[in-house]
Structure 1
Amino acid sequence: MPGMIQSIERSSAVLRLLAAGPGRLRVKEVADALGLPKSTAHSILRTLEHVGFAEQDPRTARYRLGRALLDLGNGGLDVNELRSRALDWADTLATRSVEAVRIGVLEGTGVRVVHHVFRPDGTTQAMDTGLIIPAHATSLGKTLLAYDATAADTVIRAGLAAYTRRTVTDRRELAAALAETRRQGWADAVDEWQPGRAGVAAPIRSFGGLVVGAIGVYGPADRVCDGRLRPRAALVEQVCAAANAISRDLTEPRS
């Protein structure tokens, strides 16, 4: 039987200690209360601060619980924070791919588009920000479902509606597509939601690898895909690079 992980037990104890009192605690007070070396207590507190579970007052060097604990129920990241960290990378992706770029998060059985960059060619386009799109029939949705088994089960139980002849409506076929997404690190959807349209998306990750959103390009299938109806390799590379860049920004403290 696998053993317990001591660092997690200690981190849990530190969080409980910070939650027990109304005031802030010094590193030495935490160490004394838990019988830990001061250096160990300091390392735990710094790590908890890095992920947002603890906050330090720069004037007094005392610690308290962090506001990120309040966000655990909604995935641990505020949508506005996600958008602000992703703006520049989304613009860059649109410029390089010459396609529309969308960032989405799961909401119910669909995906809410929280940011949309127009295709940079001067054509008339409609703003998609706020739009709810089907999770099982889009590249953003498949990317998000691939890393959230509970959400995937909810979507399947709600019924996989057919939007085109190519929409995945069989639960086993969807499960295989999600497994492929995890294997290759990105998802595609061709003619599945809207005829003649295709997308490719990749996951945006926060601390510890938690997937908190997805970014992708969406456009005419004959531009997004090659002759075999597979996303063009250059687009896949650009989308994955943007997702990785945003993920790095999300796990780095702001100056």
Structure 2
Amino acid sequence: MPGPIQSLSRAAAILRLLAGGERRLGLSEVASSLDLAKGTAHGILRTLQLEGFVEQDPESGKYQLGAELLRLGQSYLDVHELRARALVWADDLARASGETVYLGVLHQHGVLIVHHVFRPDDTRQVLEVGSMQPLHSTALGKVLLAYDPVARGQLGEGPLESFTPRTLTSVDDIDAECALIRERGWADVIEETWEGVASIGALIQDRRRNPVGAVCISGAVERVCEDGFVRPQLVASVRDAARAISRDLGANRF
């Protein structure tokens, strides 16, 4: 059986070191504590920093644990459990709305679809579980951007990719829309990723009120919208489903 990979073992040791004792450590402190050459320690720290597991204070130059590691640590909720808790509510939402339902979670620089309920009609549809959707131009993505700082960090500074003439490509415009999403509690997207398609999404939280995913409906603009706006009854259905899933995960306060 092959032995442990040295670079990974050293990276794990650095993370454990930063997790205990002093909150921030300099390069020399990390290297001496683990008996590493400065060049080796710096290379590992830089890689961890690029992955979001470590952050460097711009003034002192010292290192501390990063937001991505914090997010992973707080994600005690397994994706399979999230999906299992959402199954009944997602099916109910599809029946009530007559539209496709997606359940998504933040993954790297996009939204990973972990559950997909087909639109309840006889049209041919393709299962999209495991596919990725953009953060900045989908209802699922905008909900996560509005509530999850890690998602916002993945967005970068732009300009963002344009999929249709309606896609928002300015980070400032996205931030302004996220403020509106937090104020009203839901997101909508009309033809920003796919022409002719509109979607409505809402946040799913766990018992600690952490954002763990989002649920949305997606369908033809003429069905989801009326007079240029998404239908209020569909918004209510999506929000009710998100609340129900969150309650099943232990988030009791709404």
TM-score (norm 2): 0.69
Identity among equivalent positions (%) equals 46
3-state SS of 2:155 partner: helix
Give the superposition deviation at 1:158: 6.1
For residues 98-142 of structure 1, the C-alpha deviation after alignment (integer angstroms, 9 at most, x for no partner) is 000000001111000000000001110011111101010000000
Give the Cα–Cα distance (whole angstroms) in 2 for the partners of residues 71 and 197 of structure 1: 31
| 8 Å contact kept, 1:162–1:169 | yes
> Which residue of structure 1 aligns with residue 124 of structure 2?
124
- Alpha-carbon offset, residue 72 of structure 1: 4.5
Quick one: distance in 1 between partners of 2:99 and 2:112?
19
1:139 counterpart residue number: 139
Paired residues for 1:56-205 under 5 Å: 72-73=72-73, 75-157=75-157, 159-205=159-205
2:216 maps to 216
Q: Which residue of 1 aligns with 2:247?
A: 248
Give the TM-score of the pair, scaled to structure 1.
0.68
CA distance in structure 1 between the aligned counterparts of 2:76 and 2:169, rounded to whole angstroms:
31
Deviation per CA, 1:4-38: give whole Å up to 9, x if none. Answer: xxxxxxxxxxxxxxxxxxxxxxxxxxxxxxxxxxx
Contact 1:71 1:77 in 2 (8 A): no
Go from structure 1 to structure 2 and tell me whether the alpha carbon gap of 1:211 and 1:71 turns closer, same or farther (over 3 Å shift): closer
For residue 202 of structure 1, what is the amino acid of its counterpart?
A
Q: Which string of whole-angstrom CA distances, capped at 9 and with x for unpartnered residues, describes residues 20-58 of structure 1?
A: xxxxxxxxxxxxxxxxxxxxxxxxxxxxxxxxxxxxxxx
C-alpha distance in structure 1 between counterparts of 2:71 and 2:144, whole Å? 18
Code of the residue aligned with 1:103 in structure 2: it is: L
Structure 2 residue identity aligned to 1:194:
W
Q: Which residue of 1 aligns with 2:235?
A: 236
Q: Describe the SS at the equivalent of 2:81.
A: helix
Q: Secondary structure in 2 aligned to 1:207?
A: coil
Provide the C-alpha distance between the structure 1 equivalents of 2:131 and 2:72, rounded to a whole number of angstroms: 24
Residues in 1 aligned to 2:158 and 2:73: alpha-carbon distance in whole angstroms: 22
Query: Does the 8 Å CA contact 1:71/1:78 hold for their aligned counterparts?
Result: no
Once the two structures are TM-superposed, the CA of residue 145 in structure 1 deviates from its matched residue by 0.9
Question: C-alpha offsets along residues 77-97 of structure 1, whole Å, 9 cap, x if unaligned?
Answer: 110000000000000000000
Kindly state the Cα deviation for residue 227 of structure 1 after the two structures are TM-superposed. 1.1
| Equivalent-residue separation in structure 2 for 1:152 and 1:165 (angstroms) | 23
Aligned pair in 2 of structure 1 residues 150, 71: CA closer, same or farther (>3 Å)?
closer
- Structure 1 residue ranges (4+ consecutive) displaced by more than 4 angstroms after TM superposition: none
Matched, 1:225 2:250: no
Return the letter of the residue paired with 1:153: G
Distance 2:98 2:104 in 1: 19
- RMSD of aligned alpha carbons: 1.6
